[in-house]
Chain A
Amino acid sequence: MGEQLLQLLLTGLTLGSIYSIIALTLVTTFNVTGILNLAQGEFVVIGALIAVSLQGTGMPMAVVFLVSVILVGILGGLLERLTINRARGASSLGMLIITIGLSISLRGLALLIWGTDTYSLPAFSQGGSIMIGGAALNPQSIWIFALVAVTLAGLYGFFEHTFWGKAVKASVYNQTGARLQGINLNTISLLAFVSAGGLGAAAGVSIGPITMVTYDMGFMLGVKGFVAAAIGGLSNVGGAVIGGILLGILESFSSGLISSGLKDAISIIILLGVLLIRPEGIIGAIRERKI
């Protein structure tokens, strides 16, 4: 029994690492632009699919990773210029609907290019699973955690220790004030989507070896990422990671100990519960902030 519980915990961590990285990308865009980007799941999928195609040409995995991140970053920026930027001044509902449109178009594009097949990606490191006390841990999930950690550190460093990071934060708190200080909101929004695309692709290439890749998996990933982000309070990067891990562990334990059919229901019930009881997230990070 103890071994089984440990196994469920490790599996939960693997799932949790996947949800965390997607939640993290959602939260970053949301923090910077105030837009909840529902096309984030599609960035993840397109990143992974590009990696599948590149990998087929025999490139080493590190190059595949980088090229995919850069390409999807460019795609993110391009989409921002073509849609979000043109709709500046629209309500947040309007923006949300634009991102839904983007999500549907990207899914269609992926279907046209890659078809309905399921693809697999090779793991970053060779070798089987790591045994911990009789339970197995997929080494790929360590890579995903590493990506989560690097992203967290990068975001922290950027927001707290660079001029641009502070500029971004300022423009979120008070757009008019930031503009008066000479901060170019236009550039910041572009930057946010480029990094959302790049981070999404990084997430996609990293989770691909575990989840396999199909053109239409972005939506469910987006939903899970959104639930994780909402648990964490939607604007807190640390909260997003904790929310993702909590969600993964809950899913793993409920499917291992109760019934596998309940898994998706549980994440939606948690989302409803959090939104009804503690809309500020269980971490409670969203406080009134004054400048």
Chain B
Amino acid sequence: MKNMSKGLKRRLGLALLLVISLLISACSPTKEADVKSTTASANEPYKIGAVLDISGNSSSLGVPERDTLLMMVEKLNSEGGINGHPVDLTIMDNKSDETESVLAAKTLIEKGSLAILGASSSGTSMAMIKTVESEKVPMISLAAASSIVEPTSDRKWVFKTAQSDIVMISKIISYLKKNDLNKIAFLYMNNSYGDNGKKAITAAVKDSGISIVAEEKFDANDKDMTPQLSKVKASEAQVVIVWAIPPSASILTKNFKDVGLTIPLIHSHGVGNQKFIELAQGAADGTLLPIGKLSVAQQITDADPQKKVLESYIADYVKKYNSEPNSFGGYAWDAFNLLVSALEKAGPDREAIRGELEKTQGFVGISGVFNMSPEDHNGLKEDSAVLVKVDQGKWKLIE
């Protein structure tokens, strides 16, 4: 090899080309189908589909949702299905990717799904809206952002079971007011979950005497949020509010302790699973967050209308998977049962299913008591959430 430099140049160029093409191919669509079907009845099965973030960044959401759906469909079919019709559920993994989400939704619609459950996170859910609206297929998202179901004039076919960020933010705002905290730093993930949290809080603090003195964002796969926190430290914030999901939310919580910040840290309900506490390795203690009642089911009063439903879901889940369910699984439980009760009344007709979903009243679920209307496709109010504190690695109800 006489001229090493030339050979190296060529090799470098080749390597660059390959790296770029790999980057592109890493984003290209592939599918992983996870099909469950049954032969329980001679009646025509009802086909429904689910698009979940089973792998990738939001897998901590999608996996418990998948497990819950599999458990529910098995139970339903063993009990004879819906009016004698077994349910044929197809679950697809969108790998936490928007494009994959759309492709999966299209595939499910082509296969004749009556309705689609999912997706797990706000971005992947938003991506599917246009498709289900134009194909006129009911969709029940499991994600938080209120813009998934608003404005309802453009979201005729879209419903969702997770508490809207606006519900959670009003919970946080009342806490701030009670404790006289007026200057907040808001940190959020650079994706649609974070953006919607930001929109909701900006709207909520208007005319409330609370001001946002620092505002920073970070990426879902960032490994270190110290730069953002160093800005917060330099500001005069009295409290930090974070809109993110693990693992980045956990890393941020660790960094928060590391840089020596001692002001209160409030997370969103996006961290409502044990994984968040585990990954933060002890740094999560003292963190506050609004969350559905599932995580603190034993601590709520017996008078609560949800108590029974929560306990039966926990018992079923623990029996099947030998671990506690979390609020994400709860969103799936709600979506599945809302759809089942709509299917019972409407039969295999997409238009009628949509109508029944919109008429849902007093449906007691895991995330709250749902009261849908043509103007509200989420149907949950502030009473569906409670404020909890992480105390020695456990959720503790603080009100």
Contact = CB atoms under 8 A, between A and B. Distances in A.
Contacts of B259: 7, 129, 135-136
Contacts of B228: 255-256, 260
B279 A128 contact: no
Contacts of A288: 2-5
Contacts, number: 149
A1 B281 CA distance: 30
A93 B17 CA distance: 11
A96 interface: yes
B26 A219 contact: yes
Interface in A100-144: 100, 111, 116-118, 120, 122, 128-129, 131, 135-136, 138
B1 A173 contact: yes
A235 interface: yes
A36 B346 CA distance: 60
Given A210-B224, A255-B227, A286-B4, A93 B14 contact: yes
A11 B227 contact: yes
A28 to B, nearest CB: 16
B16 interface: yes
Contacts of B59: 116-118
A230 interface: yes
A108 B353 CA distance: 40
B153 interface: no
A131 B260 contact: yes
A13 to B, nearest CB: 11
Contacts of B56: 116, 216
Interface in B273-332: 275, 278-279, 281
Given A216-B56, A280-B5, A260 B216 contact: yes
A117 B26 CA distance: 19
B206 interface: no
Nearest to B216: A260
B9 interface: yes
B360 interface: no
A33 to B, nearest CB: 12
A271 interface: yes
Interface string A1-38: 10110011011001100100000000000000000101
For the complex, would chain A's binding face be called helix, strand, loop or mixed by DSSP majority? helix
Contacts of B230: 3-4, 7-8, 11, 135, 256
A281 to B, nearest CB: 9
B54 to A, nearest CB: 7
Contacts of A214: 247
B12 A234 contact: yes
B217 interface: yes
A275 interface: yes
A189 B398 CA distance: 61
Interface in A118-177: 118, 120, 122, 128-129, 131, 135-136, 138, 173-174
Given A261-B190, A279-B9, A271 B246 contact: no
A272 B216 CA distance: 28
A263 interface: yes
Contacts of A63: none
Interface in A252-291: 252-253, 255-256, 259-261, 263-264, 271-272, 275, 279-280, 286-289
Interface residues of B, number: 52
Contacts of A259: 217
Interface in A193-218: 210-212, 214, 216-217
A66 interface: no
A275 B16 contact: yes
B323 to A, nearest CB: 12
Contacts of A65: none
Given A116-B56, A174-B1, A212-B247, A128 B257 contact: yes
Nearest to B54: A116
A183 interface: no
A18 B26 CA distance: 23
A136 to B, nearest CB: 5
A286 B259 CA distance: 41
Nearest to A254: B227
A181 interface: no
B18 interface: yes
Contacts of A226: 15, 19
B18 A256 contact: no
A40 to B, nearest CB: 12
Given A100-B18, A129-B259, A287-B5, A212 B251 contact: yes
A92 interface: yes
B238 interface: no
B258 A223 contact: no
A87 interface: no
B256 to A, nearest CB: 10
B260 A136 contact: yes
B11 A116 contact: no
Given A118-B246, A230-B16, A234-B12, 6 more contacts: A8-B230, A256-B228, A260-B222, A261-B190, A279-B12, A289-B4
16 contacts: A15-B224, A38-B15, A117-B60, A118-B246, A128-B258, A129-B258, A210-B224, A216-B56, A219-B26, A256-B230, A259-B217, A260-B217, A260-B222, A264-B219, A279-B8, A279-B13
